[in-house]
């Protein structure tokens, strides 16, 4: 499982979170993708403040629409991203091949969800986000943006993982 590191080996910003769940890896990843993107009031409010649409979608649906592209998907890894110019001529990549070939100016963002088996037999469900600014103006603009948005991005991902872990625990109790 390569995941986000194959798509964006260098980065300016990296954020990683994980939770242990009691489901097989493929089930844990599918549960993550089927989880509502704005399933709790805090995440919903943060998405609304940011002006994001699609609050009734799942994480899988949200991360594959609009400017987001699915870059890689296996039973245990899901990578999505965006390559864009936010300054000047606003453009975004429209395919995984174009994302990979994207050159300055702009920003490349890749995020993943991965489910891996631990030595204890549980599944580590992780999410990692990496951002690389490809030129100085985008780097300056992105750093200012990330100072405001970064803590909330981390909060959203932690809340997603908590919701997924709670659903997995309920599923495991029903199976027992």
pLDDT > 70: percent of the chain? 99
pLDDT at 176 over 70: no
> How many residues are listed for the chain in this entry?
176
| pTM, entire model | 0.93
Cα–Cα distance measured from residue 128 to residue 149, given in angstroms and rounded to the nearest whole number: 16
pLDDT band at 79 (very low <50, low <70, confident <90, very high): very high
pLDDT at 137 over 90: yes
**Mean pLDDT of all residues in 3-29:** 95
**Mean pLDDT of all residues in 21-32:** 95
**Mean pLDDT of all residues in 36-53:** 92
pLDDT at 1 over 60: no
């Amino acid at each position: 499982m390569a995941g986000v590191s194959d798509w964006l080996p260098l980065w300016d910003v990296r954020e990683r979170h994980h939770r242990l769940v009691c489901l097989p890896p493929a089930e844990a990843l599918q549960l993550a993708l089927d989880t509502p993107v704005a399933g709790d009031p805090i995440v919903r409010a943060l998405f609304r403040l940011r002006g994001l649409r699609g609050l009734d979608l799942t994480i899988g649906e949200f991360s594959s629409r609009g400017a987001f592209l699915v870059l890689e998907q296996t039973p245990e890894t899901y990578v999505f991203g965006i390559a864009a110019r936010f300054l000047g001529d606003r453009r975004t990549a429209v395919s995984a091949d174009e994302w990979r070939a994207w050159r300055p100016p702009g920003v490349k963002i890749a995020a993943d969800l991965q489910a891996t088996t631990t030595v204890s037999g549980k599944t580590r469900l992780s999410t990692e986000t990496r951002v690389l600014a490809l030129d100085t103006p985008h780097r300056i603009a992105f750093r200012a943006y990330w100072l405001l948005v970064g803590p909330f991005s981390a909060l959203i991902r932690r809340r997603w993982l908590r919701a997924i872990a709670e659903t997995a625990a309920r599923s495991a109790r029903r199976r027992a």
